[in-house]
Amino acid sequence: MIKIIILICATVFLLVFSRRYLLHPRSYGFYRFFAFELTVIGILLNTGVWFKEPFSPLHLLSWFFLIISIIIVIAGYRLLRKIGKSIDNNFEHTTTLVVQGIYRYIRHPMYSSLLFLALGIFFKQITPVNALVLVLTTAAVYLTARAEERDDLQKFGASYRDYMQKSKMLVPLVF
């Protein structure tokens, strides 16, 4: 019962947070809502095993992805705040294209972090339901990144197109 209450509260929070995007299905915020919602579902599905056998090989792999997720989100956030030059103090509304640090390798570290978080959650307990949540989360993260790239191409033009040629979308050296 507590998981349902947490899910409802998290969903309400995400709905409020994403309200302006949910009426625009092609916006990055629309897809991001689903990525966040699926992440919450993944966490709630695995709360009973989160610290069970924490040093088993699967859990060590899970911890690895979870730590990578934290490192990536912190690095991305700090650079956006430092270099992005937001007009309204919102790191999502940058006026300067950030291509240093982690952004040299991946264009969307915040979404990449969600992807690694989903992998970490999945390896806590491999089940068909968790595999489905991972696939759906991956799809939502990918669609979020693609939608944001449409916006970034409009905002930054040729410099963003060049940047796309030099970096990966979500996973360094891979994708």
Q: Pick the closest to residue 68 from 175, 174, 172, 173 (CA basis).
A: 172
Q: How far apart are CA 70 and CA 102, in angstroms?
A: 13
Which tens digit of pLDDT belongs to each residue from 77-123? 999 888 877 776 666 778 889 999 999 999 999 999 999 999 999 99
pLDDT, average across residues 148-160: 93
Rounded to two decimals, the pTM is 0.90
Q: Give the whole-number percent of the chain exceeding pLDDT 90.
A: 80
CB 11, CB 37: distance < 8 Å: yes
pLDDT, average across residues 30-36: 96
Q: How far apart are CA 164 and CA 25, in angstroms?
A: 24
Q: Pick the closest to residue 61 from 114, 125, 111 (CA basis).
A: 125
Mapping DSSP to helix (H, G, I), strand (E, B) and coil, where does residue 92 land?
Answer: coil
pLDDT band at 141 (very low <50, low <70, confident <90, very high): very high
pLDDT, average across residues 116-138: 97
**Could you tell me the residue ranges of all domains in the chain?**
2-166
